[in-house]
């Protein structure tokens, strides 16, 4: 989740963001709590970290084919343990 997605999630009255400033549907600036937005982004940082750390699909399928499910699961669990959900 990036900063804009977090703002839209936390502040449903935000209609658009221009130059990092959120506005409502009438063009009024919406006051936001930057710390709250940053905390929301950090809460989902594991998603990006996992995506970058997982082996490619080709490598995962190769592990599954040659090593079986348990071998594949073990390789995936290494990444999941390194980047647990919601850890910031």
* Structural domain spans, the chain: 3-82
pLDDT over threshold 70, residue 88: no
What percent of the chain is modeled with pLDDT above 90? Answer: 88
Measuring CA to CA, how many Å separate 65 from each of 4, 52, 74? 40, 22, 14
Question: Are the C-beta atoms of residues 79 and 50 closer than 8 Å to each other?
Answer: yes
- Could you tell me the pLDDT band of residue 87, with boundaries at 50, 70 and 90? low
pLDDT digits (tens, 9 = 90+) for 75-84: 999 999 999 9
Tokens of residue 22, six digits: 């959120």
Q: 13: which DSSP letter? A: T
Model pTM greater than 0.85?
no
pLDDT of 74: 97
């Amino acid at each position: 989740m990036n900063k804009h997605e977090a703002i839209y999630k936390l502040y449903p009255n935000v209609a658009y963001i221009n130059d990092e400033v959120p506005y409502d549907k009438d063009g009024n600036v919406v006051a936001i709590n930057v710390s709250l937005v940053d905390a929301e982004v950090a809460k989902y940082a594991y998603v990006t970290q996992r995506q970058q750390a997982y082996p490619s699909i080709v490598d995962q399928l190769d592990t599954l084919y040659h090593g079986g499910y348990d071998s594949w699961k073990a390789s995936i669990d290494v990444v999941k343990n390194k980047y647990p959900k919601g850890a910031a």
